[in-house]
Structure 1
Amino acid sequence: METPFLEGYRMSKAADIELALVTKRYGTTTAVDGVSLKIKAGTYCCLLGPSGCGKTSTLRMIAGHETVSDGDILLGNTVVNDLPPARRGTAMMFQSYALFPHLDLVDNVAFSLKMKGVDKAERREKALAMLKLMEMDVYAARRPAQLSGGQQQRVALARALITDPQALLLDEPLSALDPFLKVRMRAELKKLQAGLGISFIHVTHSQEEAMALADLVVVMNGGRIEQAAHPREVFNRPATAFVARFMGEHDVIEGRATGRAGDDTRFEVPGGAVFAAPTAADNGAPVAIAIRADKIRLAEGEAGYGFTGLVSAVEYRGATVQVSVSAPGLEDFSVSLDEADFFRTPLAVGDAVPLSWSREHVHVLA
């Protein structure tokens, strides 16, 4: 979507959002557990994690659609815990878009202004201006059922943005779209956020979506934040074994320290194999490392930086081929190979193959 109307267009305000030890309980279940996070004004933030990790509850507490059990949510310098959604300075776009089927696009977009008592002529003028911003003004007289999924999304965005919010909250906004439209709408969302200059807080379970959109990726698990950083930092330097596994494209090896070898710690996995980690650890202490799957070679390596296993699966992915290798204590260890390299000397399930990696590509996990 070209956005010529965004030239020189900025929302009138933007503010930092801060969560200070925020907890959400549903009866005896803790959905969000003491989360602290600061999202600077103008940030595209993705809350990322598996189902049940607490990301949607966190978003709904920011929006005011869920109460906070403990802790504070601040928008700018204001604690908004007790403010209703309409007075928080945020706007929320729901996963279903929640458009009114019996109203045309103008009345859909203008609905929140109608609830605030804005004069009909003024609210329709503002709604048309917002539809023009989304390049949907030519469809102003249509109803939602007459639009494609991508067009409905633009109308939902226009309705959320007409209140001039300090932050836009999006609950899995791309989940209902087909794969091709998802890619296009990602680019549109990113361009829109940069043009408006406000924060977007976007809940997703898609690692690819978060990497493509976010300035700040917040990986959640079990109601807590595992890591909050730029997507490149999260991908290349995952903070924990959970982040490394969830982001994909990493192999994780976990064991216990058995001694030192120069600047490395040797550690043993349950199957008995011994590996090296460029860190210091006391004997018996847990040690975990991650290696990117595309940094692993099909070759013998120095002691501690490789092993020999059996191919358990081969998956063709177009530009790359994913080879899964198993060994005692190491199940589904993945190697990402260039397509041409793989088919030069192809592998089959059951083949024995040596794997190795360089010390520089070993990332020590917390």
Structure 2
Amino acid sequence: MAQPETVELAAVTKAYGDVVAVDRISLKIEAGQYCCLLGPSGCGKTSTLRMIAGHESISDGDILIGHRRINDIPPAKRGTAMMFQNYALFPHLDIAENVAFSLKMQGTGKAERRKRAMEMLDLVSMTEFADRKPNQLSGGQQQRVALARALMTRPSVLLLDEPLSALDPFLRVRMRGELRRIQRELGISFIHVTHSQEEAMALSDLVVVMNDAKIVQSGPAREVFNRPRTEFVARFMGGHNIMSEGGRTVTLRSDALQISRADGARRATVQEVEYRGPQVMVNLATDSGDEMSAIVSERTYFSDPVTPGDVVGLTWPADEVHELTAEP
């Protein structure tokens, strides 16, 4: 496998006529990092990935991989590989031939192609399926084959476009672990587009939150979750209450909000209770009309359960309050 390289975007813009899909974004992804581009549909994350891959032209700005400016370099010569959302496997080829297809196009001999394909299939635990056709595999197995095929070119950067979105929830969690294991084992940079906050936090060294064609915050997952800069980031990441306190807009994690039968800093009426196994989500409406939520442990909740219509007091530790900056 190639040596990992940094990826740097400098004031990169992508416009389709009068529509700006990516608006002067700048970002540095260190060599060997697992980076997730996270945001709602239409925020610009897939356009960003496709510009790095070379499947979309750059309207303005520069993209560098290592020390090379790659704006005008063909996709096959960038040192990147792309894993597509729909896997795009060839139905008439067996799994080993699918994985080795790029080497066949390069003129690599059959024996060498087979040897390297089996190495990649071993990496993704799929060697026993080498002679099957794609339609004989489950969705998760096809995903592993697509990953092995993308890695065959020995890229320094692997680009993944929502690779887990077609999988059922149980398999999605399992494959997250597989992706992280493979990335650590290979040591190369992964850039992964997703709209799932849980997926981004579970996988990434670097979370890049995008909205309206711009990067609104980037950093380690724990930092982005605990210290969102804007109301958008707090709401999009989830698990936060947005409220006004002392003339400022602040956020408070839902698991830091405490419910009691006694009066608290605020009074609220229970609106809904959602059981989640180890946790219980309690949705509330304060007397001032704010909507808030509390996440409490199952044991704590059932020691004195509240039900819709109950009036409760809300309290929270002062050091759990985080001030938000103005929206960009």
Please give the range of the TM-score, normalised by the shorter of the 2 chains: over 0.9
1:233 to 215, 223, 228: 223
Once the two structures are superposed, what CA deviation does each residue of 1:176-197 show, in whole Å capped at 9, x if it has no partner?
Answer: 1111111111111101000000
| Aligned match of 1:291 | 252
2:101 to 98, 111, 130: 111
Once the two structures are superposed, what CA deviation does each residue of 1:274-295 show, in whole Å capped at 9, x if it has no partner?
Answer: xxxxxxxxxxxxx321101111
The number of equivalent residue pairs is 324
One-letter amino acid of the structure 2 residue matched with residue 354 of structure 1: G
SS at match of 2:102: helix
| Aligned match of 2:313 | 354
1:12 to 2, 26, 43: 2
TM normalised by structure 2 equals 0.95
Q: Work out which of the two has the higher radius of gyration on C-alpha atoms and give 1 or 2.
A: 1
| Aligned match of 1:176 | 166
Distance 1:87 1:336, change over 3 A: same
1:316-327 correspondence to structure 2 within 5 Å: 316-327=275-286
Matched, 1:216 2:216: no
TM normalised by structure 1 equals 0.85
| Aligned match of 1:315 | 274
Runs of 4+ in structure 1 displaced over 6 angstroms?
none
| Aligned match of 1:274 | none
Matched, 1:251 2:241: yes
Matched, 1:84 2:74: yes
Structure 1 residue 338: Cα displacement: 1.5
Distance 1:204 1:330, change over 3 A: farther
Task: Say what the alpha-carbon RMSD is for the aligned residues.
Answer: 1.6
1:119-198 correspondence to structure 2 within 5 Å: 119-198=109-188
Q: Measure, in 2, the Cα distance between the counterparts of 1:243 and 1:176.
A: 25
Structure 1 residue 363: Cα displacement: 0.5
Matched, 1:339 2:264: no
Q: Measure, in 2, the Cα distance between the counterparts of 1:197 and 1:329.
A: 52
Q: Measure, in 2, the Cα distance between the counterparts of 1:91 and 1:311.
A: 50
SS at match of 1:117: coil
The percentage of counterpart residues that share the same residue type is 60
Distance 1:329 1:80, change over 3 A: farther
Q: Which has the higher contact order (CA 8 A, sep 6+)?
A: 2
2:15 to 6, 10, 25: 25
Q: Measure, in 2, the Cα distance between the counterparts of 1:319 and 1:129.
A: 41
Structure 1 residue 301: Cα displacement: 7.4
Q: Is the 8 A contact 1:253 1:330 kept in 2?
A: no
1:48 to 34, 38, 49: 38
Q: Mind listing any 5+ residue stretches in structure 2 that lack a counterpart? A: none
Q: Is the 8 A contact 2:99 2:117 kept in 1?
A: yes
Q: Measure, in 2, the Cα distance between the counterparts of 1:216 and 1:331.
A: 33
Distance 1:327 1:143, change over 3 A: same
